[in-house]
Structure 1
């Protein structure tokens, strides 16, 4: 059986393939597909974005799809970046802190730097990673969710992972997500929790 992961993010693909390895399936990503379709994530919640991606890609490629939408919620910013996590640097909120940011930084580095600057004088660093995962197989759909509580560090550390991992310290740890091994991260991460739930269900229905 083939299942399509509705993402081109190499970090997500790597994590999801590792988490799905116990299932007897061939895991494809959007980068493996010849015909290209881009589905805009323009909804207002992680769930709505995940459902839109799962159903749109499934109908286009005629394959079962696993889609997810995830992000970082920071209490001091009233839940932002949230659904804007991947493009936080580009949104209007917080533009005042964007002076003198080098153009050669990656998108992740720019997002992280913007967030650190917005929290510069903030003692409340509480935050959480959230993900909503949708499996769509034409006949039925499965929804799972995962949350990883933690706090925002004062500086970027570590080179594992991706996204906000270098500035996110998981609850119970004294190092960032980017300082954990992939195996350590998968045990506690929002995505790891959501995929583990999905795998248990898929073992029964596939």
Structure 2
């Protein structure tokens, strides 16, 4: 089984490939010759995942899946949410995003947050959505070198480490993207 994964984010592609069984091969956007920036103009995480998947299916004819992820912080009414990748402005900069978030939370005692990933799968003319959520808290400082994005300041529930301090195996087992991907894999296994 082969799908395009509608992303040029090498970290995301590596994480997804680690999660998928060997029977499912993924192609990146570069693999299919798509070098343009796919517009992410929806105002929801679900909407952006759907936009990306539909763009590939409509313009390149491939069955594909796409994801969008946001960090939703309770004290900030769900921000940065759909704007997580560019929270500190253009171009996207993980360090600047984390610094802005920590600054915006410096007076807050409620540091509850959740990562939300939505995957949109386009297959056989139908679309399916899979959602994964990881609840946790925003730490006071950055810690860890693994992962990417907000991982150094996100500590998942029932763990004493940030995502950036965890092994890839542990993070993938409990993360938002890992959960959404497992739902996707379970679905694909039912239609073989």
Smaller-chain TM-score range? Answer: over 0.9
The offset of 1:36, in angstroms, is 2.7
**1:90 match:** 89
Distance (whole Å) between structure 2 residues aligned to residue 115 and residue 87 of structure 1: 12
User: How many pairs align?
Assistant: 191
**1:14 match:** 14
Deviation per CA, 1:163-185: give whole Å up to 9, x if none: 10000000001111100000000
The offset of 1:192, in angstroms, is 0.4
Distance (whole Å) between structure 2 residues aligned to residue 164 and residue 6 of structure 1: 21
**1:30 match:** 29
SS at match of 1:37: coil
Cα 1:88–1:139 change in 2 (3 A) is same
Distance (whole Å) between structure 2 residues aligned to residue 25 and residue 177 of structure 1: 26
Structure 2 length normalisation: TM-score? Answer: 0.95
SS at match of 2:88: helix
Distance (whole Å) between structure 2 residues aligned to residue 74 and residue 195 of structure 1: 23
The offset of 1:80, in angstroms, is 0.2
The offset of 1:26, in angstroms, is 2.1
Q: Which consecutive residues of structure 1, in runs of 5 or more, have no partner in the other structure?
A: 92-105
Q: Is the 8 A contact 1:23 1:199 kept in 2?
A: no
Distance (whole Å) between structure 1 residues aligned to residue 157 and residue 2 of structure 2: 36
Distance (whole Å) between structure 2 residues aligned to residue 192 and residue 184 of structure 1: 10
SS at match of 1:199: helix
The offset of 1:138, in angstroms, is 4.2
The offset of 1:155, in angstroms, is 0.3
Larger C-alpha radius of gyration, 1 or 2? 1
Q: Is the 8 A contact 1:37 1:57 kept in 2?
A: no
Distance (whole Å) between structure 1 residues aligned to residue 182 and residue 19 of structure 2: 7
Q: Which consecutive residues of structure 2, in runs of 5 or more, have no partner in the other structure?
A: none
Distance (whole Å) between structure 2 residues aligned to residue 37 and residue 3 of structure 1: 19
Deviation per CA, 1:68-101: give whole Å up to 9, x if none: 111100011110000000000018xxxxxxxxxx
SS at match of 2:180: helix
Distance (whole Å) between structure 1 residues aligned to residue 163 and residue 153 of structure 2: 8
Q: Are 2:121 and 1:135 equivalent residues in the alignment?
A: yes
Q: Is the 8 A contact 1:128 1:151 kept in 2?
A: yes
**1:109 match:** 95
